[in-house]
Structure 1
């Protein structure tokens, strides 16, 4: 289990959030409260509405009703770039990189964009010492310094996901949303990704969607279970693992739950 502790100050709050496409309601009154410094995971079966919920929080979709508060201020009607400027950044299931630019250049773009500086033909970016220092710090944090000159498109799949996580936090956002950060990875790659996520989100608030329960149990302070657009349970990893309703709706048979317990034990001992 994660050792990242919350101070119980809520930084992200969803209240009776709903999203319908035509007559089909995908998110049906979801409510969550994520505390400062907490690592919070959302799990659920395919079609539960997890990605839709993420899109509502990050501004890519407009809510049909309900409210999303970031640091106590409503953001559900704001465009994604404005939400990002207020301190919330997200990654995507599909890697979203500049493949013909180097690792360094990708990170530099993220830092420049988040600071509102952008590119200007009359100003040399190489003179922007603060930007350079932030990029260097991010290269060290993500352990990608040896690959600084590698084109993003030439990185391994795991390397591209690591770079995307770096881009998500490069702008200095304090609330990070990660959408299935270990999808498609081998067990060894997933373990490395967990260590990276733990490191880059230290001192930040993390909200993630993840299908790999070993990853969830290894990172999350709390877990919410989303089924058919509704939050059916929320609690510590142990509470979620032992919840009969969750076992029936998502985690499956007692044997699956036992496997989850083993994963929790391994993660705690690690």
Structure 2
């Protein structure tokens, strides 16, 4: 495990006009850990993800990926440095098959660039890797189904697969189990655990059972500030966190 944090936020702020959404957020995500970010609705969790992944530019502060300054860097450049993310709303190619979606995520990391004379069916390494990922996702039997025809839980599983398919070693998952039943959530937790083994995982999640089952450490975001970071047990017993969620002083 590296001594350099996988992700480091240093006094990061983001304002939209006069409205401050992220207010001096400072956080280190350790290399190889599973780190959850929790907080009430409107706390700024998704905005923080947008800043880390380059979809928004901070108003001030610094963001580092394994010690390299990525503040304001374009999303595709951050991705090529080894960070990949999913979104709250499923973002798939709905009119392409499951296996075609996976293949699209594999071309660049396997060294293929755009070339109109290259025939995709001849790329043996892409097909073999896609088949491996489908098996891990439990979607082998659905490989030729259009992504838009999958169940909601299957679509979320496919999106997680796309996030890790490129081989990134820092994975951001934004509410990966939102809208799932209890049994679907249990399967998703097992899938996330397996696919992010030996990687750094940062997730935004509202389901506390998922957070406490998966996370090594938890950070609490409130009004754009990180008010606490600790192990799941430390966060559970934190008076500051209880007051933040309950809105009243805890006796």
Whole-angstrom CA distance in 2 between matches of 1:252 and 1:112? 49
133-142 or 234-243, larger mean C-alpha shift: 133-142
- Pick closer, same or farther for the CA change 1:91–1:159 going to 2, 3 Å: same
> Which has a greater percent of helix?
1
Supply the RMSD in Å over aligned alpha carbons: 1.6
Q: Which residue of 1 aligns with 2:194?
A: 199
Q: What's the TM-score, normalizing by structure 2?
A: 0.95
User: Which 5+ residue runs of structure 2 have no aligned equivalent?
Assistant: none
What is the count of residue pairs matched by the alignment? 249
Pick which of 109-118 and 226-235 moved more: 109-118
Q: Does 1:67 align with 2:72?
A: no
Say whether the 8 Å CA contact 2:4–2:67 is kept in structure 1: no
Q: Report if aligned partners of 2:12, 2:24 keep a CA contact under 8 Å in 1.
A: yes
Q: CA deviation at 1:140?
A: 1.7
- Using the size of structure 1 for normalisation, the TM-score is 0.89
* 1:160-192 superposed Cα distances (whole Å, 9 cap, x missing partner): 000000000000000000000011111111111
> In structure 1, what is the Cα distance between the partners aligned to 2:243 and 2:8?
27
Cα distance in 1 for partners of 2:98, 2:247 equals 41
* Structure 1 residue aligned with 2:183: 188
2:139 to 123, 137, 144: 144
Runs of 4+ in 1 over 2 A off after TM superposition: 6-9, 113-121, 251-254
Following superposition of structure 1 onto structure 2, how do residues 14-29 of structure 1 map, counting pairs within 5 Å?
Answer: 14-29=9-24
Paired with 1:118 and 1:9, the residues of 2 have a C-alpha distance of 32
Distance in 2, matches of 1:143 and 1:160, equals: 12
User: Any gaps of 5 or more consecutive residues in structure 1?
Assistant: 1-5, 255-270
Cα gap change, 1:115 to 1:21, in 2 (>3 Å)? farther
With 29-38 and 214-223 compared, the bigger mean Cα shift is at 29-38
Q: What is the CA deviation profile of residues 25-71 of structure 1, one whole-angstrom value per residue up to 9, with x for unaligned ones?
A: 10001111111110000000000000000000000000001111001
Question: Quick one: which of 106, 109, 112 aligns to 2:101?
Answer: 106
Corresponding residue of 2:87: 92
